[in-house]
Structure 1
Amino acid sequence: MWSILAVTAPFFALVAAGYAAGRLRLLPESAIPGLNVFVQCFALPAMLLRLAMATPISQLLDPAVLLCWLGAAALVVGAVLAATWRRAGLKDAAFGALVATFPNSGFMGVPLLVALLGPQAAGPTIAVLLIDVFVTSSLCIALAQAGDAAGHGTRRALALALRGAVGNPLPWATALGAVFSVAGVGLPGPVDTVVRLLADAATPVALFTVGAVLWRAGQRAGHGERWGDVAAITAVKLFVHPALVAGLGLVLVAAGVPLTPAQLTVLTLAAALPSASNVPLLAERYRADAGRIARIVMLSTALAFGSFSALVGWLGPG
């Protein structure tokens, strides 16, 4: 267990450092959007580009991986919507479903799972990120927009959500890396150096930024009375989601789907990650209850250090 904590603890410590920097006012709140832009538009795309270049495209787009993750995501989204729709309304129920399904696979998952499991974890983890960006997020945002009386219908809501997904630089960096992988070519020397430097900065800056974003979200969350709902959705994210991924994966394997034990381990651990830190920003953009979503992200991140590390120890990867 100590060897596992030796890997996971520094990742969560960087998140805590970012939170502390915000809380102690060492990092001005006005600087947080700039950090986020650097990570989202420069450092993480560079890291994904390099990983995709080194990963066979068959691993990035493995049908068994896609089927397992999409199936479990559909179950979680459907269950959270059914449980919260009447009480919270369709918009807030849709964002609750998104925060219960979308792990922090970009800022935290890719570097953490690769550090724990080795380079073979990159393919399934990147596939998970692509599904959540293009499918899960787009569907939940479209449902939220459809539930808005001022909206323009489900079709337009889905089109707007897909447009936002297409504007995300992470999938495009992955796609470019896949092209290089298929072509069997690399980047020119100076370009490769720049990309490598950016990629090396991705993990520490991304995790520090997650902490700062969580602090800012906490400042705006207020003191609502929906902690029971927050705790329930957090439990879905940290425990129900990975259990569904693991269970569905075993069913698929029994049915003859070629999902390997290593892939299922990566998917299960990805599902056990805390909620994505960008979901409160999306909720705020679409005028949902961003405070509720921020509390779920903060609680899931605080608890995931223990729950995720315990799951790694139980699965015994490596």
Structure 2
Amino acid sequence: MLQIFLVTFPFFALIAAGYAAARSRVLPLDAIPGLNTFVLYFALPCMLFRFGARTPIAQLLDGSVALVWGVCALIVVGAVVWGTRSARIGWNDAAFGALVAAFPNTGFMGVPLLAALLGPQVAGPVIITIAFDTLVTSSVCIALSRLDGADEHGAAKAVRQAMRGMSVNPLPWSILLGALVSAVQLKLPAPIADTIAMLADAASPAALFTIGAVLARSALLSRGHALQFPEAPHRGLSRIGDVLPVVIVKLVVHPLLVYAVARGAMALGLPISPMALAAIVLVAALPSASNVAMLAERFGADNGRIARIILWTTVAAFFSFPLAVAWIR
């Protein structure tokens, strides 16, 4: 257990550093979008491209892993929407609560952390989970979030918006390009390969620091919103009952569900290796993706609630994730 903590501690320490820098305003809040842009459009795509290019194409097209992960993601989405929707929490807030429960912080945190823990061979299963959550899970939740609207075509519009969003998201494109390079076994010229490598090496520290900064900004903005609009206390000041169950689903139910479904699939004869099993269970045990808060804000959901879920899962994962690593090993 101590060895696991020694591996995971620097990752959470960088998140804490980013949180402290933004919270104390050493890092101006206006600078955070620039950090996010660097990570999302430059460093992280290069990291995913490099992983994809170095991973055998068969691992990137593992249908068994995709099936298990997809079934579990949709079960979590359906269960959270069903369990949280009420007179106070409509389709919009329930859908984004489901997204934050089913969408781990795989890109910013999971790829470098799992590679450090299990080795580069986990890239295939991890990339599959990123592709599914980016393309399918997000689209389903955005479509569900529009069911509150009076416009009968709200869900269809949301699907079109989600498709447009995916077309400009660099992560699926970097995964696709990496897979193509792997499939044709293309060797890039040294200057291009070195440039990609430099950006890829910067992805891990920059992404982790940015996660902390984004969480701090969300907390500060939510507090400011609550002070500005005290007549709407559930906006930006969510009840613990609106947050804690989703946190438990994310950190406990989700990884256990993935483990159970994967074991069942293996018993039925689907080819899932022990390494792939460990990888997808640990991906499910990661804290919630920080970009869900930005999506929630964009679509008018209770961003304060989403930000608190992300913050709580990130803090709790400092203790729960090493336990998950020790258990799955």
User: TM class by shorter-chain length?
Assistant: over 0.9
How big is each residue's C-alpha offset from its partner over 1:20-52, in whole Å with a ceiling of 9 and x where there is no partner?
Answer: 111121100010000000000000001111110
What is the rounded CA distance, in whole Å, between the counterparts of 2:265 and 2:213 in structure 1? Answer: 39
Q: 1:150 Cα shift? A: 5.1
**Paired residue for 1:33?**
33
Residue 157 to residue 114, structure 1, CA distance change in 2 (3 Å): same
Counterpart selection for 2:270 from 246, 257, 260? 257
SS in 2 for 1:86: coil
- 2-structure distance, mates of 1:82, 1:308: 27
User: In 2, distance between residues paired with 1:75 and 1:191?
Assistant: 42
Q: Give the CA deviation at 1:151.
A: 7.1
Q: Kindly state the Cα deviation for residue 285 of structure 1 after the two structures are TM-superposed.
A: 0.2
Higher mean C-alpha displacement, 109-118 vs 215-224: 215-224
Distance 2:72 2:251 in 1: 13
2:238/2:305 contact within 8 Å kept: no
String of CA shifts for 1:198-240, please: whole Å, max 9, x gaps.
0010000000000000000111223514112201100000000
Q: TM-score, normalised by structure 1?
A: 0.97
Cα deviation, 1:137-189, whole Å, max 9, x if unaligned, reads: 01101111232335733222212112212211011011111111111112211
Q: Within 1, Cα distance between the matches of 2:193 and 2:246?
A: 42
CA distance in 1, matches of 2:166, 2:148: 20
Where in structure 1 are there 5+ consecutive unaligned residues? none
1:80 correspondence with 2:98: no
The answer (yes or no) to whether the contact 1:146–1:157 under 8 Å persists in 2 is no
1:150-165 pair list within 5 angstroms: 152-165=153-166
Q: Distance in 1 between matches of 2:54 and 2:93?
A: 40
In structure 2, what residue type is equivalent to 1:142?
Answer: A
**Cα distance in 2 between the residues matched to 1:86 and 1:2:** 43
Report if aligned partners of 2:247, 2:312 keep a CA contact under 8 Å in 1.
yes
Moved more, 141-150 or 89-98: 141-150
Amino acid at match of 1:47: M
Which residue pairs with 2:222 in the alignment?
Answer: 221
CA distance in 2, matches of 1:61, 1:147: 36
Do the aligned partners of 1:221 and 1:295 also contact (CA within 8 Å) in 2?
Answer: no
Deviation (angstroms), 1:192: 1.0
Aligned equivalent of 2:229: none
User: What is the Cα deviation at residue 190 of structure 1?
Assistant: 1.0
2:290 aligned with 1:277: yes
Normalising by the residue count of structure 2, what TM-score does the alignment of the two structures yield?
Answer: 0.94
Report the counterpart of residue 175 of structure 1 in structure 2.
176
Aligned counterpart, 2:17: 17
Residue 133 of structure 2 is matched in structure 1 by: 132
**Counterpart in the other structure of 1:99:** 100
Q: CA deviation at 1:86?
A: 2.4
- CA gap of 1:151–1:103, structure 2 versus 1, over 3 A, is farther
Residues 23, 220 of structure 2: 8 Å contact kept: no
**1:147 matched to 2:160:** no
Structure 1: distance between partners of 2:213 and 2:151: 33
Aligned mates of 1:260, 1:211 — CA distance in 2: 34
Percent identity between the two aligned chains: 54
Superposed CA deviations along residues 96-148 of structure 1, whole A, max 9, x for unmatched, are 00000000000000110011000111110111001000000011011112323
Query: 1:151, 1:157 within 8 Å by CA — same for their partners in 2?
Result: no
Length, aligned pairs only: 316
